[in-house]
Amino acid sequence: MSTILDKIIAQKKIEIEQKKQIISQSELENSEYFGKPTHSLFEALSNKIGIIAEIKRCSPSKNIINNDFPAELGEERTKFVQNLAKGYADASAIGLSILTDKNFFSGDDSDVIDARKVTNIPILRKEFIIDEYQIWEAKAMGADVILLIASCLTISKTKYLAQKATDLGLEVLLEVHTKEEINFIDANTELVGVNNRNLHTFEININNSLKLVEEIPNEVIKISESGLNSLSDLHLLIEVGFRGFLMGESFMKTENPAAALQKITKRI
């Protein structure tokens, strides 16, 4: 029986081939952002513990999270994304995480482009990356960091994609969920996120971060992802060595996500 992750990856393979027919990998290099320097999330988190705030309209497990987030591309959606990106930056977000998967998360590449125009804090393109073409896309749209999900890849493919990203000047956030996936870490994955959500079942347990933190090398930046809803959660995780927190739904489900973020950043 196929899981949600299996379905996402199957769709992603189709989507990538379709995109390659529209614009080639080499043509992506003509983007205004492709030759520009990136903003380092690693440096930001080395200097300060912080929150990577997520711009996320919906998910397979929660459906629509924020009803004010326009579904259709256009001026209203651009305005919403840009206002949220600026609001998050003003509320001291250390970075932004922006979903670009269209079919399962109602994201779009244009959301990264729109956010990039109004903020200089690091942007993570949150996507199910399985092909180097998607790394070129990330650079072309103005992202600074890509996500590599160990559950979607082999060790060799992860290292290959991480090297490609590094060669383009992008940073890599490697997402792990099990002890076995710690073996995916290498010199090009200086940011390691522990996902508290099981991508096969979508169940959440923040004890996963507590369980895996000691397995992660001390020289990398440790980030806890998903299911973080309270200041006490963050303080507990800070004590054991986490410096970054990827948070989305707890902000996006409120009427004012930036204000919800501000309440937490003031007290970290």
Active site residues: 54, 56, 126, 175, 195, 225-226
Determine contact, residues 150/158, Cβ cutoff 8 Å.
yes
* Strand segments (E) across the chain: 50-55, 58-59, 63-64, 95-99, 123-126, 145-149, 171-176, 191-195, 221-225, 244-247
Which DSSP helix (H) or strand (E) runs through 117? none
Write the CA distances from 141 to 12, 123, 173, 186, integer angstroms: 18, 10, 17, 26
Tokens of 188: 């090009």
Neighbours of 133 (CB within 10 A): 17
Give CA–CA dist 127/11, Å, rounded.
13
